[in-house]
């Protein structure tokens, strides 16, 4: 089968379209013919090897040679222990090792996988998993946003952020989206009440305070974050600098004791019920998956470059196999 492979960390130039062995499902796995796969910042991090947490499992060379974590496709075969899916099912989900998706076929377990609703295209379904897991847990399950609360989403114009704005608005919050100037209009169109261009304004220095901050791209100190939190407010680190991650691990208990503010790492869970919940919101028109651009599998390097250069609004999707059923 054809797959996008990288044997070293680096720029999108190190990605090659190669002929590789088609995977064979283990007893607990499904073999999925991939129709679409979306790009996440985790793919960019896994490609470049930065931040350092992206090298877990491969300090010098990538362990996951085929990137790509969010797939949608049709089940071709199932291992003997697979209970919930059968050949022919249309499914979508998250590759749990954050790799293997930029390929014509992928093997994965039943975890973090759901049936694709007929009303969604493979591209729309592929745009959902990782971004929606982050947004749902940050805003709803762990964030427990209440009507009237002030919520700030840092990196709100990207994959997780565009879902998070919409979920926070649905919860009745007053939402501030932070991203670059190219994405301000998009954030407003999704319901953000206030938008901030991160190249012009530092949200931790403008005197505002928020009940919840969901940060997909953290690079400020924990002291700056606590300043931007309202009393009893919560800050969630989703991704960003490893130095900040360590600050959170070591300093946040002290900050909580002194100020009552919570600064935490959001460890994203992958419950398939979240996939069902978000697709219901999408099918009812309450949430829209934002797809900026579509590329073919052979254009994956270009697609990743577009994200890495800071242009991607919402999600970027790779169409691996156009769906002939329409
Ligand atoms: N904690 C967990 O369990 C877990 C699980 C999965 C993934 N993750 C992490 O979750 C993150 C998910 O991000 P995503 O896929 O939503 O990324 P994304 O689509 O790339 O969105 C990130 C957005 O942040 C913007 N941005 C860049 N620098 C910024 C800054 N200084 N201030 C504000 N915004 C900035 C980006 O804009 P530009 O275009 O300007 O760069 C982009 O629009 C990744 O870091 C990934 O590692 C965490």
Question: What span, in angstroms and rounded, lies between the C-alpha atoms of 36 and 226?
Answer: 40
Using the predicted structure, report yes or no on whether residue 228 has a pLDDT greater than 50. Answer: yes
Using the predicted structure, report yes or no on whether residue 169 has a pLDDT greater than 80. Answer: yes
Closest C-alpha to 123, from 249, 296, 300, 306: 296
Question: Measured from the CA of 40, which atom of ligand 1 is nearest?
Answer: 15
Encode pLDDT of 54-83 as tens digits: 998 799 999 889 999 999 999 999 999 999
**Structure confidence at residue 324 (pLDDT):** 63
Q: Is 65 exposed, middle or buried (0-12, 13-18, 19+ CB in 10 A)?
A: middle
Question: Measured from the CA of 314, which atom of ligand 1 is nearest?
Answer: 19
Question: Measured from the CA of 157, which atom of ligand 1 is nearest?
Answer: 43
Encode pLDDT of 103-116 as tens digits: 999 999 999 999 99
**Structure confidence at residue 322 (pLDDT):** 83
**Structure confidence at residue 57 (pLDDT):** 79
CB under 6 Å to ligand 1: residues? Answer: 40-42, 45, 130-131, 134, 154-155, 157-161, 178-180, 183, 198, 216-217, 219, 238-239, 266-268, 307, 310, 312
Candidate of 41, 64, 303 to mutate for ligand 1, largest count of ligand atoms within 8 Å of Cβ: 41
User: Closest residue (by CA) to atom 23 of ligand 1?
Assistant: 155
> How confident is the model over 130-136, as a mean pLDDT?
98
Share of the chain above pLDDT 70, in %: 99
Encode pLDDT of 29-53 as tens digits: 999 999 999 999 999 999 999 999 8
Using the predicted structure, report yes or no on whether residue 326 has a pLDDT greater than 90. Answer: no
> How confident is the model over 171-194, as a mean pLDDT?
98
**Structure confidence at residue 323 (pLDDT):** 76
User: Closest residue (by CA) to atom 25 of ligand 1?
Assistant: 155
């Amino acid at each position: 089968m054809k797959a996008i492979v990288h044997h070293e960390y680096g720029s999108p130039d190190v990605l090659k379209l190669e002929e590789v062995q088609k995977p064979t499902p283990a007893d607990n796995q499904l073999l999925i013919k991939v129709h679409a796969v979306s790009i996440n910042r985790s793919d960019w991090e896994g490609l470049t090897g930065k931040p350092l947490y992206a090298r877990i499992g491969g300090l010098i060379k990538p362990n996951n040679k085929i990137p790509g974590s969010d797939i949608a496709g049709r089940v071709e075969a199932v291992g003997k222990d697979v209970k919930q899916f059968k050949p022919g099912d249309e499914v979508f989900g998250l590759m749990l090792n954050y790799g293997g998706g930029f390929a014509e076929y992928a093997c994965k377990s039943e975890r973090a996988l759901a049936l694709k609703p007929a009303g969604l295209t493979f591209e729309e379904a592929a745009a959902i998993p990782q971004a929606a897991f982050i947004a749902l847990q940050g805003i709803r399950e762990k964030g427990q946003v209440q009507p009237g609360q002030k919520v700030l989403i840092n990196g709100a114009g990207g994959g997780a952020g565009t879902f998070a704005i919409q979920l926070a608005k649905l919860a009745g919050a007053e939402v501030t989206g932070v991203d670059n100037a190219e994405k301000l209009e998009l954030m407003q169109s999704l319901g953000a009440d206030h938008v901030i261009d991160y190249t012009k304004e530092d949200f931790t220095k403008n005197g505002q305070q928020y009940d919840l901050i969901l940060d997909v791209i953290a690079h400020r100190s924990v002291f700056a974050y606590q300043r931007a939190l309202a009393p009893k407010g919560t800050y969630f680190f989703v991704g960003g600098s490893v130095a900040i991650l360590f600050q959170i691990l070591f300093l946040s208990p002290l900050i909580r004791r002194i100020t009552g503010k919570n600064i935490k790492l959001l460890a994203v869970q992958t419950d398939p019920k979240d996939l069902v919940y978000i697709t219901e919101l999408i099918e009812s028109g309450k949430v829209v998956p934002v797809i900026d651009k579509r590329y073919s599998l052979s254009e994956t390097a270009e697609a990743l470059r577009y994200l890495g250069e800071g242009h991607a609004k919402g999600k970027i999707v790779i169409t691996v196999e156009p769906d002939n059923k329409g």
